[in-house]
Copies of this chain bind each other. A is one copy, B any other.
Amino acid sequence: IALSGLPKGKMTENGMASRGKVLTIDTMNPTVKKVEYAVRGPIVQRAVQLEKELREGAKKPFAEVIKANIGDAHAMGQQPITFFRQVLALCSYPELLNDSTFPEDAKSRARRILQSCGGSSIGAYSASQGIDCVRQDVARYIEQRDGGIPCDPDNIYLTTGASDGIVTMLKLLVCGEGKSRTGVMISIPQYPLYSAALAELGAVQINYYLNEEKCWSLDISELQRALDEARRHCNPRALCIINPGNPTGQVQSRQCIEDVIRFAAKERLLLMADEVYQDNVYADGCKFHSFKKVLFEMGPEFSNNVELASFHSTSKCYMGECGFRGGYMEIINMDAEVKAQLTKLVSVRLCPPVPGQALMDLVVNCPQPGEPSYNNFMKERTATLGVLAEKAKLTEQILNTVPGISCNPVQGAMYSFPRITIPEKAIREAKEKGQAPDMLYCMKLLEETGICLVPGSGFGQKEGTYHFRMTILPATDKLKILLSKVKEFHQKFTQQYS
């Protein structure tokens, strides 16, 4: 074994080392190995394999695989917004601007986007921070959303989906060694992009637990506990919040957000607010409050000081346009020198995909009353959100009829995260296999019913509790079948292991 850790090869006649690959599991970047991403993990790989087997004529106890593992709205049958797609077609093939069947407001949006592209083509690179006019539109949208609180387009960075923005912010932040290593607070359960990014960056993940008994609410005392413990072994510098919650579906109250901001201010933490589900709020009495708005309503002592990055995306809400990888982040109170570094950093990847930027523009600059597409746009938007609200209710109700499953209200976002009781015997079997008990559960569910869910262990959960994440996205009829199959499976599973 050489100093470098690579096995030395023998020389063959022509002087080539017999190898021994350069890159092996033992010689690759160890931080990459630590990365986990359950939403596309082993269970999903098995689901893809099962689909293939079905196509090849294999006999299974089910006719199709239903993927309720990922918030992929269009894949589950949600229809794109007509107006958005018309404008995207116009931008892609500007000859269509002469086609009289396209509405005038779609044409004027397309013209405006094209005019701000190099050579009037969405095939040109944009500025790395994003197209100017799109950033201006985003800023105006945020101002309207937040009741007039000003938003500077210079603080808007367009991104390749929200994930890209989140990883970029973490990248700026993470440094130090040993006890000075940057720690980042994330909720448990969490969306595994966070744990994956922190593992890759070698940051310290600081878990704070959401309170399942109080509808996955966030208690400041729990933030304090987690922070105080973490301070003994790392340097906590940021607090990540997902609101509405993923995978847990809760919507934070205004009061809770204010408390979180106070906590961040007191403890000197940069706030990262993942607000990609901001239009996905279903429950009576729940309302989306942006961290930005609450921060500014708390007065200048807070609004001039607390560092906040908030993230949005074209992938969720009523749009569901995941494939376009559109998104933006707004940064508030960022140090000017750091901002320059951020701008430099994003320039290395040249620019976010321009079709995604165009789509983001349409989301923040959608048809207005009086415009020809307004009525149809509102009809489609309202219908999509209405159906999601129905399915959120339905999911909660049906799951709660199953003994051994208990499900908090799905107040927002696109997921239920019910708690499941797993019999001791099943837990033992899983542990013998070196598997998480809810992985065993979900894997059996998949093999027996074709339903693909993600085990709670992929998101994190309190020791000794078990969950799964299920999207509410399948069409209502399919969702009902899915839920009744889950019910049946759960009963059978419980019997089998009793």
Contacts and interface: CB of A to CB of B under 8 A. Distances in A.
Interface of A: 3-6, 9, 12, 14-25, 27-30, 32-33, 35-37, 39-41, 48, 70, 72-78, 80, 85-86, 88-90, 92-93, 96, 99, 117-119, 121-128, 160-161, 163-164, 167, 171-176, 179-180, 192-193, 196-197, 200, 235, 237-238, 262, 265-270, 301-302, 305, 307, 319-325, 333-335, 337-338, 341, 344-345, 347-356
Contact of A348 (B88, B196, B235, B334): B196
A353 B356 contact: yes
Nearest to A337: B25
B70 A125 contact: yes
A160 B32 contact: no
B266 A17 contact: yes
Name, among A23, A320, A354, the residue most crowded by chain B CB atoms within 10 Å (CB to CB): A23
A118 to B, nearest CB: 3
Which 7 pairs between the two chains have the least Cβ-Cβ distance? Answer: A75-B118, A323-B354, A89-B93, A74-B121, A40-B347, A25-B337, A4-B235
B119 A307 contact: no
A123 B320 contact: yes
Nearest to A307: B22
Contacts of A335: 21, 23-25
A128 B92 contact: no
A85 B355 CA distance: 12
B122 A323 contact: yes
Contacts of A20: 268
15 contacts: A3-B235, A16-B265, A16-B266, A16-B302, A20-B268, A22-B268, A28-B172, A32-B171, A40-B350, A72-B125, A75-B119, A88-B93, A193-B348, A322-B351, A323-B353
Contacts of A124: 72-75, 322-323
A45 B197 CA distance: 30
A25 B123 contact: no
B3 A125 contact: no
Contact of A172 (B23, B93, B174, B238): B23
B353 A324 contact: yes
Contact of A80 (B121, B269, B320, B351): B121
A327 to B, nearest CB: 11
Given A28-B175, A128-B40, A175-B27, A119 B22 contact: no
Contacts of A307: 21-23
Given A72-B118, A123-B323, A268-B9, A237 B23 contact: yes
A24 B338 contact: yes
B355 A237 contact: no
A344 B40 CA distance: 8
Given A72-B125, A337-B24, A88 B78 contact: no
A323 B122 CA distance: 6
B348 A22 contact: no
B349 A164 contact: yes
A353 B355 contact: yes
A347 B92 contact: no
Given A96-B89, A323-B117, A268 B6 contact: yes
Contacts of A41: 347
Contacts of A174: 29
A4 B176 contact: yes
A323 B338 contact: no
Contacts of A173: 23, 28-29
A355 B321 CA distance: 11
A28 B89 CA distance: 42
Contacts of A324: 122-123, 353-355
A97 to B, nearest CB: 11
